[in-house]
């Protein structure tokens, strides 16, 4: 792909088309760009379009496309093609910083992200001059450029906040500090001086304050892992300025907007974060500065209004107090009863109020509300911060704090009782207060696991929660209903079972509520209750106890998806999945109707998959319907295929990438249920499954291998008879997989199924080539995972075709090869094989090698016989050897490049473990004893003499035990 005007023009035209709302124009353009992204110069053409195009929209589109291209392809993953050539990589790194700094802000942000993605892989080893190039730009004096540098540095360094400690990380942070800390401090001081010089110039102040906010964020990232010496030495400078900025109030920077936080709020929020970090992690060094920060932040809290724009600032300020009050040596600051009362009255209670902005979110932006309230992404909300402060204070002052708040709770509930229609928000705040007071420890799985003993949860439930749940009008006071449902969900591990059972039909009724938040909470609460474990590890609520509500439950769940705003509600779909799983055969009468609704839903979402969790639970629910129904009646598998195949065909033809791996899993499940020969509808699809393009995507590999295994299991003979020309294609798949360290085990799964299920004559001509491929891979990269799989395969081959066939094929490839494999692989490595079935295959295979292979008795291989037997007894008796050489510790971890659909395993499509030997051998130790007995009868005297001269005493003792158990002896 040359860097010329014609190519630039073509690229621009395709970029233009990717913005077209019509999918028939947009999709082919996206496919075209995807098809050329592996060509050399492609990224440089994108950067040229971004720099030179006259059309602003095309420039932004090129920037976004470039960033996504970098995100998908920059990381070099073993076994994956490297789509970016080395010259392109060098050219990108040489030009991108300058291009980013001279671009308009919208493009600057995209390129800044791209730099941080490249930096994550290449900095500092492969991009040593990145920081120096950036730091020299501080001298430019141009704040557009300076902010570009700061923004990039922020996206580069913010990962230090959540990286695990390691030597590489320390070295990298040290390098960054050596280059960056001093210039950053100088820039900080200079920017503050400039703020004073330009105190009356609002435009200059806006730029300077956004720089100060970025500098404060960088301070947080660079100080997160440990307190660097440089910042400890310069703490006076930083803390004095931070404190001054906290108390600063510049009228010019105040905004009229009630929703959007202004620059002043953003800066102060970050400073509260920085102070909280120091108070928590470096309290000793920070002690001299703490009191003045507590005072400044307290004043900030009592003077800041209730508007939404202050939410982040207020929540960070409260979080600062929360982190301080939890530390034992700051305890004295809060001991005074008046201080506690003042905090409760002026900070906690006002910030727990349900404001009109919250009400708007509840009604009009329910998805956002649910994510914040249910999933804990409410980190920056006032309520969450106030709740954390209550918990922090309860750590040392549980008694006094509970007493103060009990008074508030009672007065709020009294206010509510006077006039519920007007004062319902008082009850909402009361419930929230009780929840934050009572909650000590919490997990996603169990809700609250440790509660404040001073709060009677069960009594509060009966007096104040049940009344709302029982209310006949489910649409009245939706916020209070949602609160009541959330209370049940939160304290489910603390409430007695009778009370939980009592709530089930009430929750089922709330699924009909018009409010999205309310019916979502009801679905989520039911799902959580259905997963609770009882004393004997079964579910706390049994299928029998829930059965009376089945029809209402399923009807209401499915109908809830018809309520506007919930057509792809993941909580409802998860509750459907969990209800199926709990109720099992109780749902069979309803499945014919439900499968139609699920299929319809699948068809709809496949047009534009946007909710990955919803889609996952939808496929899980399909698998459950199939499993539960076919368990009772295997013949009904046909009616599922009738319902599902038209949709599956459409998904595969339209290549809906997100859904293809799921479709393969459900098809495997259906095919595995079949008892008769493989249906023709499946055979028609078989050739398509071997197309190389399908195997390019990592996410397709596990489900496709499983599907091919199902084909082989159900129709090995059919494939040999009617699709023999496809066997080379099948082996081509094996060859591709075996070459990859990440996927070689999948290649072996396929190969084992071929050996087990294909008629022997159908693969005779390919056998030698299969072994040659395996040996080539052994020579090029011999990993523990590969060796374990290789051992299982050769032993399965031995079980299937006999020990003589195994020895002959090895020695046919190269004379004496069989002995080398025994000596170099079987004897030293068999101890590493893991898994019951795998060990059984190896034991039976090795027994056959020892007792059914004449070459082991009469050639130079004979010297290996006792060693092989010793290794087999070791496999039976010694603990598994799970050591892995250091250099391959991370090979098993599949790092799929950013953009690919990763494989999502469907729990309810799970495959039963398959034992190819089955009942033919129940106890491999007995088999060994019987086989040795048979061998010794055939050549008397040989076996005992080999044992007595070469086997160690311990192994001999174990062997005697096997012989006794089998009631045989050696002659």
Q: What is the dihedral of CA 664, 670, 673, 677, to 10 degrees?
A: -90
* Alpha carbons 125 and 142: distance in angstroms, whole number: 29
Cβ proximity of 868 and 849 under 8 Å: yes
* Alpha carbons 223 and 215: distance in angstroms, whole number: 12
pLDDT at 918: 87
Phi/psi at 472 (5° precision) = -65, -30
Q: Where are the domains of the chain?
A: 1-122, 542-676
Q: Using 50, 70 and 90 to split pLDDT, how confident is the model at 782?
A: confident
Q: Using 50, 70 and 90 to split pLDDT, how confident is the model at 889?
A: very low
pLDDT at 448: 59
* Alpha carbons 512 and 506: distance in angstroms, whole number: 11
* Alpha carbons 786 and 901: distance in angstroms, whole number: 25
Q: Which helix (H) or strand (E) segment is 447 a member of?
A: strand 447-451
Q: Which helix (H) or strand (E) segment is 442 a member of?
A: strand 439-443
**Mean per-residue pLDDT, 254-268:** 87
Measure Cα distances from 818 to 774, 794, 841, 866, 932 in Å.
14, 11, 19, 16, 21
Which residue matches tokens 């991108």?
96
Which range is least confidently modeled, 3-17, 43-57, 873-887? 873-887
pLDDT, tens only, 274-315: 999 999 999 899 999 999 999 999 999 989 888 889 999 999
Mean pLDDT rounded to a whole number for the chain: 91
Question: Residue 901 pLDDT more than 50?
Answer: no
* Alpha carbons 899 and 657: distance in angstroms, whole number: 11
CB atoms under 10 Å from CB of 936, counted, come to 20
Percent of the chain with pLDDT over 70: 96
Is domain 1-122 annotated with CATH 1.25.40?
Answer: yes
* Alpha carbons 8 and 285: distance in angstroms, whole number: 57
* Alpha carbons 907 and 911: distance in angstroms, whole number: 9
**Mean per-residue pLDDT, 244-266:** 87
Question: Residue 671 pLDDT more than 80?
Answer: yes
Q: Using 50, 70 and 90 to split pLDDT, how confident is the model at 899?
A: very low
Give 753-757's long-range contacts (Cβ < 8 A, gap of 24+): 753/708, 753/709, 753/712, 753/713, 754/712, 754/716, 754/730, 755/793, 755/796, 755/797, 755/800, 755/801, 756/712, 756/713, 756/796, 756/800, 756/916, 757/712, 757/713, 757/716
**Mean per-residue pLDDT, 773-802:** 94
Question: Residue 900 pLDDT more than 80?
Answer: no
pLDDT at 948: 85
Q: Which alpha helices (H) appear in 491-569, and where do they start and end? A: 497-510, 516-530, 543-546, 550-560
Question: Residue 8 pLDDT more than 60?
Answer: yes
**Mean per-residue pLDDT, 791-816:** 96
**Mean per-residue pLDDT, 633-646:** 94
Phi/psi at 512 (5° precision) = -85, -5
Phi/psi at 326 (5° precision) = -80, -15
Which residues, at least 6 apart from 853, have a Cβ–Cβ distance to it below 8 Å? 803, 804, 806, 807
Residue 650, class by beta-carbon neighbours within 10 Å (0-12 exposed, 13-18 middle, 19+ buried)? Answer: middle
pLDDT, tens only, 334-358: 888 898 899 999 999 999 989 888 9
Question: Residue 68 pLDDT more than 50?
Answer: yes
pLDDT at 387: 87
Cβ proximity of 703 and 684 under 8 Å: no
Question: Residue 446 pLDDT more than 80?
Answer: no
Which residue matches tokens 């319809």?
600
Interhelix angle 42-52/56-73, rounded to 10 degrees, is: 150
pLDDT, tens only, 536-571: 888 999 999 999 999 999 999 999 999 999 999 999
pLDDT, tens only, 678-703: 899 899 999 999 999 899 888 999 99
Percent of the chain with pLDDT over 90: 75
Q: What is the pTM of this model?
A: 0.83
Q: Using 50, 70 and 90 to split pLDDT, how confident is the model at 454?
A: low
pLDDT, tens only, 79-110: 778 889 999 999 999 999 999 999 998 999 99
Residue 136, class by beta-carbon neighbours within 10 Å (0-12 exposed, 13-18 middle, 19+ buried)? Answer: exposed
What HEC string does 762-826 produce?
A: HHHHHHHHHHHHHHHHHHHCCCHHHHHHHHHHHHHHHHHHCHHHHHHHHHHHCCCHHHHHHHHHH
Cβ proximity of 432 and 352 under 8 Å: yes
Cβ proximity of 900 and 701 under 8 Å: no
* Alpha carbons 637 and 634: distance in angstroms, whole number: 6
Q: Among candidates 219, 240, 330, 227, which has minimal Cα distance to 282?
A: 227
Phi/psi at 348 (5° precision) = -75, -55
* Alpha carbons 238 and 246: distance in angstroms, whole number: 12
pLDDT at 910: 81
pLDDT at 893: 32
CB atoms under 10 Å from CB of 268, counted, come to 29
* Alpha carbons 921 and 937: distance in angstroms, whole number: 21
Residue 773, class by beta-carbon neighbours within 10 Å (0-12 exposed, 13-18 middle, 19+ buried)? Answer: middle
pLDDT at 97: 93
Question: Residue 904 pLDDT more than 90?
Answer: no
């Amino acid at each position: 792909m040359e860097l010329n005007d014609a190519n630039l023009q073509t690229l621009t035209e395709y970029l233009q088309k990717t913005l077209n709302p019509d999918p028939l124009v947009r999709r082919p353009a996206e496919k075209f760009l995807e098809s050329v992204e592996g060509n050399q110069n492609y990224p440089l053409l994108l950067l040229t379009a971004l720099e030179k195009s006259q059309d602003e929209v095309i420039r932004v589109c090129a920037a976004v496309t470039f960033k996504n291209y970098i995100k998908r392809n920059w990381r070099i993953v073993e076994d994956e093609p490297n789509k970016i050539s080395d010259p392109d990589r060098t050219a990108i790194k040489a030009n991108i910083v300058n291009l980013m700094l001279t671009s308009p802000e919208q493009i600057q942000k995209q390129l800044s992200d791209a730099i941080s993605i490249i930096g994550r892989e290449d900095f500092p080893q492969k991009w040593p001059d990145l920081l120096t190039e950036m730091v020299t730009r501080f001298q430019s004096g141009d704040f557009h450029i300076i902010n570009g540098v700061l923004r990039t540095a922020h996206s580069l360094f913010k990962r230090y906040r959540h990286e695990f400690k390691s030597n590489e990380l320390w070295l990298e942070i040290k390098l960054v500090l050596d280059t960056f800390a001093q210039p950053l401090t100088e820039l900080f001081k200079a920017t503050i001086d400039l703020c004073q010089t330009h105190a009356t110039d609002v435009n200059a102040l806006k730029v300077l304050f956004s720089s100060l906010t970025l500098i404060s964020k960088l301070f947080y990232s660079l100080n997160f892992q440990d307190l660097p010496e440089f910042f400890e030495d310069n703490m006076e400078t930083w803390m004095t300025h931070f404190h001054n900025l906290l108390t600063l109030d510049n009228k010019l920077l105040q905004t009229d907007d009630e929703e959007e936080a202004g620059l002043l709020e953003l800066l102060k929020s970050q400073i509260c974060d920085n102070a909280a970090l120091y108070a928590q992690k470096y309290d000793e060094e920070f002690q001299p500065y703490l009191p003045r920060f507590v005072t400044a932040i307290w004043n900030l809290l009592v003077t800041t209004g209730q508007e939404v724009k202050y939410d982040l600032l207020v929540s960070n300020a409260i979080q600062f107090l929360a982190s301080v009050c939890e530390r034992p040596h700051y305890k004295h600051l809060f001991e005074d009863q008046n201080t506690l009362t003042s905090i409760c009255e002026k900070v906690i209670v006002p910030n727990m109020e349900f404001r009109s902005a919250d009400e708007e979110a509840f009604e009009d932006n329910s998805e956002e509300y649910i994510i914040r309230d249910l999933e804990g992404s409410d980190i920056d909300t006032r309520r969450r911060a106030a709740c954390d402060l209550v918990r922090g204070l309860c750590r040392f002052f549980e008694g006094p704090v509970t007493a103060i708040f009990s008074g508030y709770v009672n007065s709020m509930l009294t206010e509510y009782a006077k006039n519920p229609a007007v004062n319902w928000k008082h009850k909402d705040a009361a419930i929230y207060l009780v929840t934050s007071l009572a909650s000590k420890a919490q997990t996603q799985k169990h809700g609250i696991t440790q509660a404040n003993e001073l709060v009677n949860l069960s009594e509060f439930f009966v007096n104040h929660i049940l009344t709302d749940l029982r209310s006949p009008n489910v649409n009245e006071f939706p916020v209070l209903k949602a609160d009541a449902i959330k209370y049940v969900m939160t304290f489910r591990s603390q409430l007695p079972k009778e009370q939980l059972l009592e709530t089930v039909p009430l929750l089922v009724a709330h699924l009909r509520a018009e409010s999205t938040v309310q019916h979502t909470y009801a679905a989520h609460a039911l799902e959580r209750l259905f997963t609770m474990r009882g004393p004997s590890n079964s579910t706390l609520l049994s299928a029998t106890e829930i059965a009376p509500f089945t029809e209402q439950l399923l009807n209401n769940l499915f109908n809830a998806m018809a309520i506007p705003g919930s057509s792809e509600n993941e909580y409802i779909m998860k509750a459907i999945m969990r209800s199926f799983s709990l109720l099992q055969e109780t749902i069979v009468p309803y499945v014919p109707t439900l499968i139609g609704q699920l299929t319809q839903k699948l068809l709809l979402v496949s047009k534009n998959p946007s909710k990955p969790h919803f889609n996952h639970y939808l496929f899980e629910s399909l698998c459950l319907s199939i499993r539960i129904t076919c368990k009772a009646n295997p013949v009904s598998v046909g009616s599922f295929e009738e319902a599902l195949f038209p949709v599956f065909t459409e998904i595969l033809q339209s290549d809906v990438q997100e859904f293809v791996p799921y479709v393969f899993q459900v098809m495997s499940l259906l095919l595995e249920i079949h008892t008769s020969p493989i249906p023709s509808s499946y055979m028609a699809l078989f050739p398509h499954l071997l197309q190389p393009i399908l195997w390019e995507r990592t996410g397709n590999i596990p489900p496709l291998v499983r599907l091919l295994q199902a084909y082989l299991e159900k129709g090995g003979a059919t494939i040999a008879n009617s699709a023999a020309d496809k066997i080379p294609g099948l082996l081509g798949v094996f060859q591709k997989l075996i070459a990859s360290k990440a996927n070689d085990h999948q290649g072996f799964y396929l190969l084992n199924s071929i050996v087990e299920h294909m008629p022997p004559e159908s693969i005779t001509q390919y056998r030698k080539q299969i072994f040659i491929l395996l040996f080539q891979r052994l020579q090029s990269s011999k990993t523990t995972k590969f060796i374990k799989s290789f051992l299982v395969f050769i032993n399965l081959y031995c079980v299937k075709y006999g020990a003589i066939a195994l020895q002959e094929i090895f020695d046919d490839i190269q004379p004496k090869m069989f002995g080398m494999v025994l000596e170099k692989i079987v004897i030293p490595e068999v101890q590493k094989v893991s898994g019951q079935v795998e060990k059984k295959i190896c034991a039976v295979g090795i027994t056959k090698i020892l007792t059914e292979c004449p070459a082991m008795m009469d050639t130079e291989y004979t010297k290996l016989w006792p060693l092989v037997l010793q290794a087999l007894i070791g496999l039976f008796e010694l603990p598994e050897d799970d050591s892995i050489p250091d250099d391959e510790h991370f090979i098993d971890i599949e790092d799929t490049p950013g953009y690919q659909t990763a494989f999502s395993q469907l729990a309810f499509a799970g495959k039963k473990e398959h034992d190819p030997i089955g009942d033919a051998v129940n106890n491999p130790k007995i088999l060994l004893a019987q086989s040795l007995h048979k061998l010794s009868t055939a050549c008397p005297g040989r076996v005992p003499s080999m044992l007595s001269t070469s086997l160690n005493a311990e192994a001999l003792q174990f062997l005697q035990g096997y012989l006794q158990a089998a009631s045989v002896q050696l002659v």
